[in-house]
Structure 1
Amino acid sequence: MIELEDKYADIRPYNDDEVATSLKRLIDDNAFIDVIAKYNLPRILSAIPFVARPLIRQQLRKKWGQINSVEDVQNEVAKYLNKLVKRTTSEVTFSGLDKLDPNQAYLFISNHRDIVLDPALVNWGLFQHKMKTVRIAIGDNLLQRPYITELMRLNKSFIVKRSAKAPKEMLKALTQLSSYIYDSLTAGNSIWIAQKEGRAKDGVDQTDPALLKMLQLNGRKQKKEFGDYIKELKIVPVSISYQYEPCAIAKAKELYHKQHHGQYVKSVGEDIASIVEGFSSSKGHIHLAFGQPIESHCDSADELAKTIDKQIIDSFYLHPGNFIAGGCTEAVINKADAAKFAKRMDKVPEELKPLVLAMYAKPYHRKAEVNIKSCEH
């Protein structure tokens, strides 16, 4: 096991024996302490570092003094998530988990609407059902500060090297990633990865075949056919549906900017702001639908992508906003829900409203398209 872990030392999550040292680094990091102070202390205190920092450090040493393992960290995260769910959602529901084997490691591939909440809620569902939490794929573009790297690797995240640009460097990074995912699954550790790079800002949940080709790199090394190797990975599609789209206005601004200026360059710290907004904003009802492990024979990445997409679209839970934005007149929409959605849309700048409405409408229309195609066959 030591040899296996060392092989992935630069990308893997922390082991039990690294937890205490990582927590010490976090407590010693002024940037991290200042962020904690900003969100937990009165403004007048958080603005005075020589007062705020010792207070926060004292609290953290007391709180984290008994944390010495990855499981301890997961239990702390579960407590935080429990508070977050109570504070920012009306309810979080799950389907399909009862049909999964708690002793089996799965590769969960989900749609992606929120940077950190998506995998956190997958873990929340597994934790509630007494199943092992997942190892989480996270892009190195998010690791802009040392304390973020510490927090992510403490919380069972492994690093996807998106910053690799040269072809040889990219291939090396992707091959290592492919191998790490396979070895994790073989060792009994489930994995979460988004169906494509970046969040679905336009409401289109679509699997990128390039992701699936990356998974096969290790299979190719083992001289296994695509379909045979993919079956070994026990892929389970997951469909995450938020009543109120996290960071909807920020996503729409990015799309609007791309439409009118050709490209959008994120400012420093923008992703961190999105993470904070995702955690703190009201999200209404959230549903996570866990699909069936893919056992049908898929001979290509494109075929597998379509199979994953069908499960994600089919099981996507439509909220009142999806029906309203989709122009559905048949669904019985509760007046109170319709009023809440209208009130939410009132806060959206006029020029962004079509883009935000499209985010909500797209799942409704795609589900209808999938059902029509299924009828034709």
Structure 2
Amino acid sequence: MIEDFPEDLRPYTDREIPGAMQRIAAHKYFPQVASVIFPGISPEEAVRKILTVKTVIQFQMEWMYAFNQQVIQNTMEKFTYHFSPRIKKGTGYTFVSNHRDIILDSSLLQMVLVFNHMPTSMITYGDNLLVNRLAEDIARSNKMFKVVRRGNKRELFKNSHILSEFIRTCVREGDSCWIAQRNGRTKDGLDKTSQALVKMMAMSGSRKDPVENYASLHIVPVSISYEYEPCDFLKAGELLAGLDGLPYTKEEGEDLNSMLTGVTQWKGNVHIHVGDPLTQDDLEPLRHNDPDPAPLRHHDPDPAPLRHHDPAGFSARLCTLLDSRINTGYKCFPSNYIAHDLLHGTSANSERYSPQDKDAFIRRLDKLAGSHVQEKAREIYLRIYANPVQNLRDSAPFAGR
């Protein structure tokens, strides 16, 4: 049961919600949070409203659903989705998603689940993002499982095993769980599944049969596409800072700034594609070490304790399959095709956008500051938007495997 997992990591249970609501209501930043979700209500009214919340689902439907509605209304032109008819109520799934925004990728999936009369899912969330007690109480009231990303090798291995057990327990008990395909957001538009993450998922399952191990997790590839990438200028700046080969070091408060920017920035059209669950028939061909070179794209460190969970490189081939499904589910917008043409100096994709679309994108591109880095920053920015087009074209031949 979920209650059996460490109390400081697992989501709150219904019996813990009233205490969490008391702490949320008493936090000094609660009035600002409430004003975003329910514009126009007084702080006193917001306190009264949140103190009526007694269960996890009530918190999600009254507060998180309203939060998503505000984000959609104020920062999007249109929000659309595709939801596989093969996903059935009563079955637990592991939603493996590309990761473009810290908060919205998983939060918007919950909207899609509700629209399709499905239970909301558990959500895995890095401990570095829980910046204060208010953030932690909101997150864990919203079915979030805290993933500890710091520690020595022994501690990281232990935490990976706990996370793996949590995901498998959720699915076995008929609950679903969302997890990003990699540690941290995609900054360059290249959505690549982490091999270490795929191996982590297998740690709690059968070591004898990788097909049975992964099939029992009911993995569903999820693609979220933003016409205008959340934090695009921040991501371009981060990539630009790393051009000299030095590792990028986050400044204090940078994660919080990215969260707020991602929520408030204009996104244009947004689309989520919730694909078909991977079946045993999909996974069976991965037993064979075929000559497809695509798995060589994955260069994650291979911690020794995880190797025995990966017979004959099965995880690398599963990464390739997930990449293909996620990339082919990605919806490219005019912004992507414009960037691809500008980057390569062609008009090959011009039938996919209007002159007005191109003018608007160029005006946005011109906002990049600093003339001395303008050309480098411009190329980085264009690649953020252009890479999904190439991903889609490269992945299409493999998506059906």
- Given the superposition, is the C-alpha separation of residues 17 and 306 from structure 1 closer, same or farther in structure 2, using an over 3 Å criterion? same
Q: Which residue of 2 aligns with 1:48?
A: none
Structure 1: which amino acid aligns with 2:108?
A: L
Residue segments in structure 1 that go unaligned for 5+ positions in a row: 43-54
For 1:224 and 1:35, locate their aligned partners in 2 and report how far apart those are by CA, in whole Å.
Answer: 52
The alignment status of 1:139 with 2:158, answered yes or no, reads no
2:364 paired residue number: 344
Does the residue aligned with 2:359 lie in a helix, a strand or coil? helix
Check if 1:329 corresponds to 2:348: yes
Give the partner amino acid of 1:100. I
* Residues 1:208 and 2:194 aligned together: yes
Listed one character per residue, the Cα deviations across residues 110-166 of structure 1 (whole Å, up to 9, x for unaligned) are 110000100011111111111111111101111221111111101111011101x21
Judge conservation of contact 1:321–1:341 (CA < 8 Å) in 2: yes
The correspondence of residues 61-100 of structure 1 with structure 2, limited to 5 A, is 61-76=47-62, 77-100=64-87
1:293-340 per-position Cα deviation (integer Å, ceiling 9, x unaligned): 111223411011011001011121110011111115244212332222
Shift of 1:283: 0.3
Asked whether the 8 Å contact 1:8–1:180 carries over to 2, the reply is no
Q: Using the alignment, how far apart are the partners of 1:10 and 1:249 within structure 2?
A: 35
TM-score (ref. length: structure 2) = 0.84
Q: Deviations over 1:13-52 (max 9, x none)?
A: 111111110111122223x34754997999xxxxxxxxxx
Distance 2:262 2:84 in 1: 24
Q: Which amino acid aligns with 2:155?
A: E
Aligned counterparts of 2:37 and 2:30: Cα–Cα separation in 1: 10
Within 5 Å, give how 1:64-213 maps onto structure 2: 64-76=50-62, 77-163=64-150, 165-213=151-199
- Alignment partners' CA distance in 1, 2:249 and 2:161: 29
User: The residue matched to 1:240 in structure 2 has which SS?
Assistant: strand
Asked if 1 retains the 8 angstrom alpha-carbon contact of 2:113 and 2:120, the reply is yes
User: Would you say the 8 A contact 2:37–2:66 is kept in 1?
Assistant: no
Partners of 2:245 and 2:195 in 1: CA distance? 28
- Which whole-Å CA distance do the structure 2 matches of 1:276 and 1:104 have between them? 34
What corresponds to 2:25 in structure 1?
Answer: 27
Asked if 1 retains the 8 angstrom alpha-carbon contact of 2:25 and 2:50, the reply is no
Q: Tell me whether 1:12 sits opposite 2:37 in the alignment.
A: no
Comparing 103-112 with 346-355, which one deviates more in the overlay? Answer: 346-355
Q: Do the aligned partners of 2:110 and 2:120 also contact (CA within 8 Å) in 1?
A: yes
Distance in 1 of aligned mates of 2:181 and 2:9:
20
Range that drifts further, 122-131 or 324-333: 324-333
SS in 1 for 2:205: helix
Counterpart CA distance in 1 for 2:125 and 2:33 is 22
Partner of residue 46, structure 1 = none
SS of corresponding position for 1:95: strand
SS at match of 2:224: strand
Number of residues paired by the alignment?
A: 357
1:274 aligned onto 2:258: yes
The structure-2 alpha-carbon separation of the partners of 1:5 and 1:37, relative to structure 1 and needing over 3 Å to count, comes to closer
- For residues 177-228 of structure 1, give each alpha carbon's deviation from its aligned partner in whole angstroms, at most 9, with x where no partner exists: 11111001111111100000011101100001100110111014xx442221
Q: 1:340-366 CA deviation, whole Å, 9 max, x = no partner?
A: 212221212324221111000101112
Q: Structure 1: how far apart are the matches of 2:271 and 2:223?
A: 8
Counterpart of 2:321 in structure 1 is 307
> Could you tell me how far apart the structure 2 residues matched to 1:120 and 1:18 are?
21
| Contact kept? 1:13, 1:158, Cα under 8 Å | yes
Amino acid at match of 1:152: A
Find the residue that maps to 2:85 and give its secondary structure.
helix
Shift of 1:105: 1.4
Matching residue of 2:270: 286
| One-letter amino acid matched to 2:225 | S
Q: Secondary structure at the match of 2:270?
A: strand
Distance change >3 Å, CA 374–CA 26, structure 1 → 2: closer
Q: State the percentage of identical aligned residues.
A: 32
Q: What corresponds to 1:238 in structure 2?
A: 222
Give yes or no for contact 1:249–1:352 (8 Å, CA) kept in 2.
no
Asked whether the equivalents of residues 108 and 192 of structure 1 are also in contact (C-alpha less than 8 Å), the reply is yes
Bigger Cα displacement from structure 2, 253-262 vs 242-251 = 253-262
Q: SS of 1:347's equivalent?
A: coil
Flag the 1:374–1:59 CA change in 2: closer, same or farther, 3 A. closer
Report the Cα offset of residue 94 of structure 1: 0.7
Q: What SS does the corresponding residue of 1:138 show, helix, strand or coil? A: strand
3-state DSSP of counterpart to 1:150: helix
Shift of 1:103: 2.5
Distance 1:38 1:265, change over 3 A: farther
Q: Alpha carbon RMSD of aligned pairs, Å? A: 2.3
For the 8 Å contact 2:323–2:395, the answer to whether it is kept is no
Which of 209, 212, 219 aligns to 1:228? It is: 212
